Chain A
């Protein structure tokens, strides 16, 4: 059968169009137009090039071996340095860069150690209201090796009630020896060498008189000449809990 001339020509045109499309699809246009692979490879490279902010314990250890060893021997051995000191890659790369922070507030320690029922059993937790609320954690615990202080403590071993009361008061950070002179013998023969007690208003005045240099007492400065008349201070204020009612 002979095909009419028009059909043949139409066939050529169709074949040319099909060939053109195939050429376009497989030869001319880049394969990346039909595949996501090259884009993904580029995205992976971009992802890998992102800046590192946490240097890692190994980098900290290179310079701070002493602190690392101290921490490694204690209960905080599993904690990475940057848990407390924050991301420190800049400091690790250049020691003259800004130093990582050293958190010192109670709140920071309490983020892990405040009591929470959902925390695992046996994890060391304290009730922030009961556990020396006015003291900084670091005044008793070394952050890198946080062993609890030994018991009994100096005065608190026998005078625990007074110590616990004082720990809650504004006098929490006032040492016993500030007001009491304690003879060495008092530790072995307590009755035979009693510590002194303040005998005059001037003992309190050391901190609470107007010219006092102690900044902690500045909130409770009184005019010693006018305040209280002839009474001594502890007739109205209990020295171990001065804000409480006597």
Chain B
């Protein structure tokens, strides 16, 4: 190819590309709307979860249900939600143990420590922050907040750099060893958009977890928010979590 031919082709190439480009969005748009459930309007929701700490019995069923629902690796150290046991001692010291990392509950009840003045369970999960630090730090825009307030990870964009895992103040993320991408609680996005409850809420035997829509005026979660003294985890970070804790001990971090 000589110089003249090259220039001719180049002159033809750009208008052709522009024409294709003008056609492309139309095709792309129609494909998207066909796949999305038509009756679901994300802008009308703002999802959150309420956790009544006094009701949690630490049975770990939520963790198992979450793993079954979301294909989380079986190993006990990968989880999207987990339960912590807090023990407050006489001398003011607090010990925290994650009971979800134990493969099986112990055969025999451990002898009670007489120095413990209070002990309780705290279920934890992604706080679905209104101002999520993990979204800010993602270098490729793979993690983002949906219009209904859920923070998702796009596994096809995620490069597995673990920056978001470092940035999350709640330790809610892990690197999925199968996909090599960051993974986290999605409030069971595939369920809630169909009108079902997240799997952990579905199986919780004591209704310690309440799922709802903070935009719904008569919603259960809105009532939960109104009638309880609500605390969130690490409020000083201004992440504005949407996981609302009731009757939370001041020692919980």
Instruction: Please indicate whether A and B come from the same complex rather than being unrelated chains.
Output: yes
Interface residues of A (CB under 8 A from B): 23, 27-31, 36, 38-54, 56-57, 76, 78-80, 82-83, 86-87, 111-112, 114-120, 123, 127-129
What residues on B are CB-neighbors of A31 within 8 Å?
25
Tell me which of B32, B36, B69 contacts A54 (CB under 8 A).
B69
Using CB atoms, name the residue of chain B closest to A117: B119
Interface of A is mostly: loop
Contact A87/B190 with A30-B24, A42-B32, A118-B85 known, Cβ cut-off 8 Å: no
* Contact between A43 and B154, CB atoms less than 8 A apart: yes
Indicate whether A49 sits within 8 Å of B35 (C-beta atoms), given known contacts A54-B199, A115-B109.
yes
7 contacts between A and B (CB under 8 A): A27-B21, A39-B141, A44-B152, A49-B190, A54-B196, A78-B206, A120-B57
Interface membership of B55, Cβ < 8 A: yes
Q: Which of B37, B40, B196 contacts A52 (CB 8 A)?
A: B196
Which stretch, B60-68, B124-132, B216-224, B230-238, touches the partner chain A? B60-68
Contacts of B213 in A (CB 8 A): none
Contacts of A80 in B (CB 8 A): 202-205
Complex-state Cα separation, A111 to B190, whole angstroms: 29
Q: A39-B156, A51-B190, A56-B197 are in contact. List 16 more A-B contacts (CB 8 A).
A: A28-B14, A40-B144, A40-B154, A42-B154, A45-B35, A47-B189, A47-B190, A48-B190, A54-B191, A57-B202, A111-B60, A111-B61, A117-B119, A118-B85, A119-B57, A120-B56
Contacts of B167 in A (CB 8 A): none
* Contacting pair A54 B14 (CB below 8 A): no
A79 near B197 with CB under 8 A, answer: no
- Report B's interface with A, CB cutoff 8 A: 14, 17-18, 21, 24-25, 28, 32, 35-37, 40, 42, 54-61, 65, 68-70, 85-87, 105, 108-109, 112, 116, 119-121, 141, 144, 146, 152-157, 186, 189-191, 193-194, 196-197, 199, 202-207
A78–B207 touching, CB < 8 Å: yes
- Kindly report which residue of chain B lies nearest to residue A128, judged by CB atoms: B109
Question: Which of A23, A53, A112 sits near B69, CB closer than 8 Å?
Answer: A53
**How far is B35's CA from A48's CA once the two chains are assembled, in angstroms?**
10
Which chain B residues border A78 with CB–CB below 8 Å? 205-207
- Nearest CB of chain B from residue A87's CB, rounded to whole Å: 5
**Residue from the list A44, A76, A115, A120 in contact with B55, Cβ < 8 A:** A120
Shortest Cβ distance from A53 into chain B, in angstroms?
5
B202 touches A48 (CB 8 A): no
- Which residues of chain B have C-beta atoms less than 8 A from A47's C-beta? 152, 186, 189-190
- Distance between Cα atoms of A30 and B20 in the complex (Å): 10
- CB–CB B202/A36 < 8 A: no
- Specify the chain B residue showing the minimal Cβ separation from A59: B196
Q: Complex: how many Å from CA A16 to CA B4?
A: 19
Q: How far is the CB of A93 from chain B (nearest CB, A)?
A: 13
Considering the chains assembled together, what is the distance between the CA atoms of A175 and B225 in angstroms? 53
- In Å, the complex CA distance between A123 and B119 comes to 14
B36 in contact with A27 (CB, 8 Å): no
Q: Knowing A40-B144, A80-B202, A118-B85 touch, does A50 contact B65 (C-beta < 8 A)?
A: no
Q: Given A47-B152, A48-B190, decide whether A41 and B205 contact each other with a Cβ distance below 8 A.
A: no
Contact indicator A36/B144 (Cβ below 8 Å): yes
The minimal Cβ–Cβ distance linking A32 to chain B, given in whole angstroms, is 8
A38 to B, closest residue via Cβ: B28
Instruction: Decide: A87 near B141, CB < 8 A? Known: A45-B36, A56-B197, A56-B202.
Output: no
B196 touches A56 (CB 8 A): yes
Q: Are A123 and B57 in contact (CB under 8 A)?
A: yes
